[in-house]
Amino acid sequence: MSNEKMVRISATIPPKLLKEFDEIIEKIGIDRSKAIQNAIRSFLNEYKPIFEKEGFNIGSIILIYDHKARGLEEKLTDIQHDFSQVINSTMHIHLDENNCLEIIAVKGELKIIEKLSKTLLSLKGVKQVKLALISTKA
């Protein structure tokens, strides 16, 4: 946590949204200020990469695929070898009879990470790909 000076903000939001927000932050056990800071960081992590295509990024690619899809697991391995410059590690979880979940930790140039993400999504048998980037700066 940095020692930078805090600023006070005010915002207008619908009561129902605030109620839901307060219920969740109470369960987590943090105060509103901390929760709003966290929400703003999540927002920045989600939208900043869209506007800032350059630079160094860290995060993960989460994918669900059909492990019975022919040749898919080999392709996934080949692709991950091709993109080893941005892959730190991969976690594999056998979800059920048909589905596997893979979590790929990524670190490096956003353009390469995005290319990896799109390449994975283009494969037959890959059902869902989610790229989640996080920042040490926000």
Which span (30-38, 42-50, 98-106, 119-127) binds Ni ion, by CB under 5 A? 98-106
Residue 104: other Cβ atoms inside 10 A: 26
For 58, the token pair is: 């860290």
Backbone angles phi, psi at 12, to 5 degrees: -115, 125
Contact residues for 6 (Cβ-Cβ < 8 A; gap 6+): none
Q: Which of 25, 61, 87, 100 binds Ni ion (CB under 5 A)?
A: 100
Residue 8 C-alpha from the chain's centroid = 29
Q: Provide, rounded to whole angstroms, the least separation between the CB of residue 100 and Ni ion.
A: 3
* Site membership for Ni ion, residue 68 (CB under 5 A): no
Q: Which of 94, 118, 127, 130 binds Ni ion (CB under 5 A)?
A: 94
Q: Provide, rounded to whole angstroms, the least separation between the CB of residue 95 and Ni ion.
A: 7
